[in-house]
Chain A
């Protein structure tokens, strides 16, 4: 059963017409209990959701990997929990370090679509002051935004 209804699909398709370059989504899931010792309840739905979203533009591709069976890839993308979505942009599949952990549903779904637009178009619309501050940054920064279900 599809997760996205026709109306939503139509809207997103239109939004995706704004994509200027290709975007790749790498989804990490887990079969069975895997090495993590627990079932990943949302893995299958996440995979399905991302696959459905990818059909809404020829510029979006998906790759589905397993966190245990594809451990080298999980390590390369520094993915340590599932479900995980990695957003890569452009022909060279640039990794900016954008990750989504957990199924991006509800309000987070909008974030996912925005991320895709971000990855598939031009530079992020940040204030000049922000960009200036970032240019002064000399140490790595890892931001985690914990969102609660709506």
Chain B
């Protein structure tokens, strides 16, 4: 799994694969429906399969504190 490869390549990255049907409360919380959903630091959400270039771009959003603050506010609503 791509996320696991990223975890291997960086000490700062950890990655979980989560079987949604076994953790319905979490699936509900992150609005997981028929397709995979990638959640990065709680507030960055990507639906469907994510190619490497897109995943790394989304991942690097964590370095943008302003953007993260906006996302956190949206998530709290």
Measured CB to CB, the residues of A under 8 A from B are 41-42, 78, 81, 83, 87, 96-104, 108, 111, 114-115, 118-119, 123-127, 129-131, 133-134, 136-149
Contacts and interface: CB of A to CB of B under 8 A. Distances in A.
A134 B26 CA distance: 28
19 contacts: A96-B8, A96-B14, A100-B16, A101-B19, A101-B23, A108-B19, A118-B4, A127-B52, A130-B52, A130-B56, A137-B10, A140-B14, A143-B13, A143-B15, A145-B3, A145-B39, A146-B32, A148-B32, A148-B33
A41 B23 CA distance: 11
A138 B36 CA distance: 27
B1 A145 contact: yes
Contact of B5 (A99, A125, A136, A140): A125
A134 B3 CA distance: 12
Interface of B: 1, 3-10, 12-23, 26-27, 30, 32-42, 52-53, 56, 59-60, 62-63
Give the interface SS of chain B, mostly helix, strand, loop or mixed: mixed
A81 B20 CA distance: 12
Given A96-B8, A115-B4, A138-B12, 10 more contacts: A81-B23, A83-B22, A97-B7, A97-B13, A129-B56, A130-B6, A140-B14, A144-B40, A147-B19, A149-B21
Given A97-B7, A115-B1, A142 B19 contact: no
A103 B41 contact: no
A145 B7 CA distance: 12
A136 B35 contact: no
B22 A126 contact: no
B37 A146 contact: yes
Given A126-B5, A145-B17, A146-B20, A140 B39 contact: no
Given A102-B23, A133-B56, A137-B13, A145 B5 contact: no
User: Could you say which of B10, B59, B62 has the most chain A C-beta atoms within 10 Å of its C-beta?
Assistant: B10
